[in-house]
Amino acid sequence: MAKRELSKMTSAELEKLIASAQAELDSRKAKDGSVAEVIKLMDKLGITVDDIGGKAAKATTRKPVEVKYRDPQNVANTWTGRGKRPKWLADALNAGKKIESFAI
């Protein structure tokens, strides 16, 4: 909140804002403290998130998309068929070549 906005508030409004902010801060501190206590207790008991049926964050890996098109003039130029067409392919198509001629 900008200082200018605060200066326009009445004393009663400022008191209400302070009380509201303090309540929010107390709530966050209590939650943080509770989470810390639970983590400590789990460590002490040797319990993991999986043991209590929770979901641990898992890393997701995606299989790379296979290349569908290759430039016969430069084999380093490839395209999977997803996203914007690369310049080398767009130029070739504009020159009258068929996309099928680049299919792998």
Question: What average pLDDT does range 19-45 have in this prediction?
Answer: 90
Measured CA to CA, the distance from residue 89 to residue 23 in angstroms comes to 61
Segments making up each domain of the chain, as ranges: 9-52, 69-102
Hey, CA dihedral for 44, 50, 55, 59, is it positive or negative? positive
Q: What does pLDDT average to over the chain? A: 89
Q: Residue 59: pLDDT band by 50, 70, 90 thresholds?
A: low
Q: Residue 2: pLDDT band by 50, 70, 90 thresholds?
A: confident
Question: What average pLDDT does range 82-95 have in this prediction?
Answer: 95
